[in-house]
Amino acid sequence: MAHGDITHIDIPVDDVDKAKTFYSTLFGWQIASLPEYADYPMWRAPNQVSGGGLATRTPDFTQPRSYVEVDSIDTALAAVEGLGGAVATPKSPISETSWFAVVRDPSGNLMGLFEGTV
């Protein structure tokens, strides 16, 4: 993926098993849990390009959230406020080689940032 590509979409769900059945049957998505993310099943669309995860809904996570690949989360976060946005979730590790953050755009939309390789 390159800087600016949408790399991942998280979908908040109330019942992971029902969501897995719904999306795999309706869209033909492949859905599997990785051992290191057992409570976070990952989905892959038939085009093998689009993908994301099914995450348990929380009060702060009620709508699907896209994640955009960035060359540097630190650089992107440093620019957010000057562009009229805000940092909603600071840089956080996913693995030893990848990180995410969440920003709020000037209209209040939440957008995830991703850097690294999983």
**In the CATH scheme, what is the homologous superfamily, with its name and number, of domain 70-118?**
2,3-Dihydroxybiphenyl 1,2-Dioxygenase, domain 1 (3.10.180.10)
- The pLDDT value given to residue 71: 96
Q: Band of the pLDDT at 1, cuts 50, 70, 90?
A: confident
Q: Do domains 9-62 and 70-118 have the same CATH topology?
A: no
Q: Does domain 9-62 have CATH number 1.10.3470?
A: no
Q: Please, are residues 3 and 71 in contact by the beta-carbon 8 Å criterion?
A: yes
Q: Sketch the domain layout of the chain as residue ranges.
A: 9-62, 70-118
- The pLDDT value given to residue 39: 86
H-helix or E-strand containing 111? strand 110-116
Per-residue pLDDT tens over the stretch 3-54: 998 989 999 999 999 999 999 999 999 999 888 888 899 999 888 777 999 9
